[in-house]
């Protein structure tokens, strides 16, 4: 059961472009995490957002938690080939991951 829907499912962009991926749910989460998974590896935690409306920045990545704590977004500025991977959101303590966004950044 996937309680978290991510969009888009696939995204292919040129190096230097900006992009936003979304994570939406009908459920309220106490906090939400974003992970990045590279081919052949397990997911690695990027950030945890806890407060509704919270914005966190990690270099060129900006994470936002919706006011109602049902949705989140990840914005990448000036994407680089090293950003390529599968981006996953997950509700903390829920065990469930989102459907994933597969990002390819073309040099």
Give the integer Cα–Cα distance in Å for 40 and 62.
25
E strands, 1-107, where? 5-7, 10-14, 19-24, 32-37, 44-49, 55-58, 61-65, 71-76, 85-91, 101-106
DSSP 92-103: TTT--B---EEE
Answer yes or no whether residue 95 interacts with another protein by CB under 8 A.
yes
- 94 touches 2 (CB < 8 A): no
| Shortest Cβ 107–another protein spacing (Å) | 21
Whole-number minimum distance, CB 92 to another protein, in Å? 7
Site for another protein in 5-64 (CB under 8 A): 6, 9-10, 40-45, 48
By CB under 8 A, tell whether 102 contacts another protein: yes
61 beta partners: 58, 76
Please pick, from the candidates 64, 69, 97, 105, the single residue that binds another protein as defined by CB under 8 A.
97
Residue 91 as a binder of another protein (CB under 8 A): the answer is no
CB of 70 to another protein, least distance (A): 18
Q: Which residues bind another protein (CB under 8 A)?
A: 2, 4, 6, 9-10, 40-45, 48, 86, 88, 92, 95-100, 102
């Amino acid at each position: 059961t996937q309680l978290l829907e991510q969009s888009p499912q696939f995204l292919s962009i040129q190096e230097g472009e900006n992009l936003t991926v979304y994570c939406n749910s009908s459920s309220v989460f106490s906090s939400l995490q974003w992970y990045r998974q590279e081919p052949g590896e397990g997911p690695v935690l990027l950030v945890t957002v806890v407060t509704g409306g919270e914005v966190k920045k990690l270099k060129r990545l900006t994470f936002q938690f919706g006011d109602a704590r049902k949705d989140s977004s990840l914005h990448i500025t000036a994407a680089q080939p090293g950003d390529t991977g599968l981006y996953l959101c997950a509700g903390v303590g829920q065990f469930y991951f989102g459907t994933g966004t597969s990002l390819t950044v073309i040099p």
